[in-house]
Structure 1
Amino acid sequence: MQPITPETISSSIAELAQPMLEEQGLELFDVEFFNASGWILRISIDKPGGVSLDDCERVSVELGHLLDVEDLISRRYTLEVSSPGVNRKLRHSEDYRQYAGRLARVRTREVLLNTRLHIGYLERVEGDMLILRERDRGIDIEIPLELIEKAHLEFEWE
């Protein structure tokens, strides 16, 4: 039997939510279950053109009912349903391709060019490398995709 951890709960919630979201034309973007002065189940949903407040509210109600019936979480928690937002996570090479030209913050597992934090414009993906034009230094840096610890878009103020 698999031990119950925040990761296994997140995985179970994803399996439960996926069919319900697909019926509504929505994509499950992310599931997080974590303790921040109380347990939080954060569900991020997306769809072409973005999600509305009505989408989030509808999913919150429907998923809340499903979670009550399935009883997957044995502790008190707060359910949050939202869009990925303007600072959305970048998780796959497809994400880097889709948002080419946009400003991103990329943290690597190892130091590259004297730092682990790289802020720059997503240029392209070549094979297993992300090419990022660093904003401050104006240079292109090749970042192996497997070295990316965390990445997300950065909102750029005009």
Structure 2
Amino acid sequence: MSEDFRDKIIKKSEEIAKSLGLELFEINITGPKRKKNIEITIDHPKESVSIEMCEKFSREIEPWFDSIDIPFKSYNLIVSSPGIDRALRGLKDYKRFKNRLAKFILSERIENRTVFIGHIKDADEERVIVHERDSKKDFEIPINTIKKANLEIDL
């Protein structure tokens, strides 16, 4: 599959998402040559993505897929949300999810650890401050050491 086709999907998905007050989070195209899964993950800037939002996005993009030349025999279109344990991808997300519980996996050790789970207290271009519930301590995590981060379910 060509990058050109993927770029077309991204462009159209961003256009439709914007028209619906949503954001494109991610696109994955998987599966064998003849039958692909086109997974489009959408997000809402201020609230959780509902099933209705996914359905509306799907209804908007399906006619477009039917009107273009697709480089494989058939496909399944899957539209979803990032989920409650969504990936956090940078400063924008760290600020957006301030006060939410998150898990950070680091590429370097801080206090002899590479995993921190706590509430995001603050974030700037250089660091994220995480308040760990168990130790009741704040930790400064340099942004350039974050290998992976995601929201956790806060019970």
Give TM-score scaled by structure 2 length. Answer: 0.78
2:89 and 2:6 map into 1 onto residues whose CA distance is 16
1:59 and 1:106 map into 2 onto residues whose CA distance is 31
1:44 and 1:55 map into 2 onto residues whose CA distance is 11
Structure 1, unpaired ranges of 5+:
none
Q: What is the aligned partner in structure 2 of residue 79 from structure 1?
A: 77
- The answer to whether structure 1 residue 23 and structure 2 residue 22 are counterparts is no
Of stretches 69-78 and 43-52 in structure 1, the one that deviates more from structure 2 is 69-78
- Over the matched positions of the two proteins, sequence identity in percent amounts to 32
Q: What is the aligned partner in structure 1 of residue 37 from structure 2?
A: 40
Write the mapping of 1:1-158 to structure 2, written as runs, cut at 5 A: 4=2, 11-35=7-31, 39-47=36-44, 48-71=46-69, 73-74=71-72, 76-157=74-155
Please state whether the residue corresponding to 1:13 is helix, strand or coil: helix
Structure 2, unpaired ranges of 5+:
none
Shift of 1:147: 2.0
Please state whether the residue corresponding to 1:107 is helix, strand or coil: strand
- 8 A contact 2:20–2:57 mirrored in 1: no
Counterpart amino acid of 1:153?
L
Please state whether the residue corresponding to 2:62 is helix, strand or coil: helix
- 8 A contact 2:126–2:143 mirrored in 1: yes
Task: Tell me: CA distance 1:51–1:92, structure 2 relative to 1, closer, same or farther (3 Å).
Answer: same
1:77 and 1:109 map into 2 onto residues whose CA distance is 37
Counterpart amino acid of 2:137?
I
Task: Tell me: CA distance 1:127–1:52, structure 2 relative to 1, closer, same or farther (3 Å).
Answer: closer
Q: Deviations over 1:73-108 (max 9, x none)?
A: 536543221222222221121211121111101112
Please state whether the residue corresponding to 1:66 is helix, strand or coil: helix
